[in-house]
Amino acid sequence: MGPLLEFIENPSLIPDVHCSVAAMVNENGDRDWAQFSSILPPSLVLRIAAIKPPFESDLEGVPGWRWDPLHSFSVRSAYSSLTGAAHVVDSEDKGWSLIGKFKGSPLVRSFLWLVYWDSILTNHERVQRFLTSDASFSYCGTVVEDTLHVFRDCPATTTIWSTVIKPELMGEFCSLDTRKWLHMNLDGGCRFPRNPLHWDIMFGYILWNLWCQRNTRIFDADLVHHESILVRCSRMVSEVIASNTQQFAGLVATSPGQGPHRLRRWVLPPEGWVTCNADGSFRAVSGGATCGGVLRNHHGEWIVGFAKGIGICSAIEDELWGIYECLKYAWDLGITRIRMESDCKQWEVRLLVINRESNKVADALANLAWSLSFGFHDFVDPSSIVSGLVMADLPG
pLDDT digits (tens, 9 = 90+) for 131-147: 999 999 888 888 999 99
* Residues 289 and 318: beta-carbon distance below 8 Å: yes
| CATH tag for 275-393 (out of 3.40.50.300, 3.30.1280.10, 3.30.420.10, 3.40.140.10) | 3.30.420.10
pLDDT at 256 over 60: no
Give the containing element (helix H, strand E) for 293: strand 288-296
User: What pLDDT score was predicted for residue 257?
Assistant: 43
Model pLDDT, residue 61: 59
Residue 274's DSSP bridge partners are 338
Cβ(211)–Cβ(150) under 8 Å?
yes
- pLDDT given at position 193: 92
| Crossing angle between the packed helical segments 178-186 and 199-219, to the nearest 10 degrees | 130
Q: Residue 9: what pLDDT?
A: 65
* pLDDT: which is higher, 170 or 264: 170
Residue 291's pLDDT is: 86
- Which residue type sits at 48? I
Could you give the strand order of the β-sheet that contains 376-379, starting from the edge strand earlier in sequence? Answer: 275-282, 288-296, 302-312, 376-379
Sign of CA dihedral 245, 247, 250, 254: positive
Q: What's the average model confidence in pLDDT over 101-130?
A: 91
Q: Which of 332, 331, 327 is nearest to 277 (CA)?
A: 327
Spatial CB neighbours of 113, under 8 Å, sequence gap ≥ 6:
95, 96, 99
Distance CA 333, CA 329 (A): 6
Domain extents in the chain: 4-83, 94-246, 275-393
